[in-house]
A and B are shown apart, each in its own frame.
Chain A
């Protein structure tokens, strides 16, 4: 069974600070996706990383896929209150299912 451990589960920081969210697994994924979910809504895709070692940037968000395609990180620079939300990682597993992390609830205080 493929599992994806996401950490931290909860993070509350001040506006302007940097933060990193991690997703780790003992399994290899063909690709890994990061989503953001607002309360009462479905997850919205932020990015897909495919190649080991790949780094993608989305404004102040930097996503990295581990060289072995077993782990990934999301780094936010100079966090803003608008970044508040639930961030989910999901690995594309062996049968093309999405293996979901438990999510990181991020609160950015003004």
Chain B
């Protein structure tokens, strides 16, 4: 069964370092998303991506964040200079069509910033 895959499953980094989280969405999906979930808190929307550009982003997604789909397969989230408060689970998701199309989530990448 097709699935969204994410790497790494867990990354520990020092504050101020750059981090790249990678996602491989399901191959025929058109809409891509990054969410994060700080431990014990609700899932938060970061950004949505369609047709090779950001379609929507939240207040959390500031200049320290960027997304890219470099090769038509991978969908990456980059954090330029990590802060302690960036520690969270980051989930990638994709769907074939928008509005009530099923959203498929990856298993998440746990980021720990020390």
Contacts and interface: CB of A to CB of B under 8 A. Distances in A.
Nearest to A4: B42
Interface stretch (A12-20, A36-44, A72-80): A36-44
A96 B98 contact: yes
B93 interface: yes
Given A30-B99, A42-B91, A92-B99, 16 more contacts: A31-B99, A33-B100, A40-B89, A41-B107, A42-B4, A42-B93, A42-B106, A42-B107, A43-B43, A48-B102, A96-B98, A96-B99, A98-B33, A99-B45, A100-B44, A100-B45
Interface of B: 4, 33, 35, 41-45, 48, 55-56, 58, 89, 91, 93, 98-100, 102-108, 110
Interface of A: 30-31, 33, 40-45, 48, 50, 88, 90, 92, 95-103
